[in-house]
Structure 1
Amino acid sequence: MKQILETIAKSLVDAPNEVQITEIDGEKTIIFELRCNAKDVGKIIGKSGKTVGAMRTILNSMAAKNGRKAMLEVVD
């Protein structure tokens, strides 16, 4: 899941080398913290949050196969 999230995020931003994803693995939930350049945060979030919403949907679909939940947090 982390690789897919990283690929999507790097394709959206102007500075792909600054994209960092931290995975925090819980018992039933996986939390992904996405960090990027401050200028690229708007590109990750998208208009009305649609881009980050789509990324969260993809993560939740993948996590549901394993009976888990996934959360994505965009950190400045």
Structure 2
Amino acid sequence: MRELIETIVKPLVDFPEDLSVDVVEETNSVTYKLSVNKSDIGKVIGKQGRVAKAIRTVVYAAAATRQDDSKKVYVDIVD
């Protein structure tokens, strides 16, 4: 999942070297915390959150196709 998020976000940002995805695993969920350069936050979120929603939709769909893990997946964009 981390590679999928990086693949989606890298072309969107001006500073791909500042992109990081941290994974926080809990008993019933996995949270991917996406961090980008301050100047790229708007590009990742998009107008009215459309880009962020699209990223979450793709990640949730990819997680749903995995049969080996029944944990809920979340994507958070942190500043």
Residue 6 of structure 1: aligned partner: 6
1:74 aligns with 2:52: no
Residue 50 of structure 2: aligned partner: 50
CA distance in 2, matches of 1:28, 1:56: 18
CA distance in 1, matches of 2:6, 2:27: 23
The one-letter code of the counterpart of 2:75 is L
TM-score, structure 1 normalization: 0.91
Q: Over residues 29-59 of structure 1, what are the superposed CA-to-partner deviations in whole Å (9 max), with x where a residue is unaligned? A: 1101111110000000011101110111111
1:28 CA displacement: 2.3
**Structure with the greater alpha carbon radius of gyration:** 2
TM-score, structure 2 normalization: 0.87
The one-letter code of the counterpart of 2:78 is V
> What residue ranges of structure 1 are gaps of 5+ in the alignment?
none
The one-letter code of the counterpart of 1:12 is L
The one-letter code of the counterpart of 1:70 is V
Q: Give every structure 1 segment of 4 or more consecutive aligned residues whose post-TM-superposition deviation is greater than 6 Å.
A: none
CA distance in 2, matches of 1:58, 1:27: 23
TM alignment of 1:11-50, pairs within 5 A? 11-50=11-50
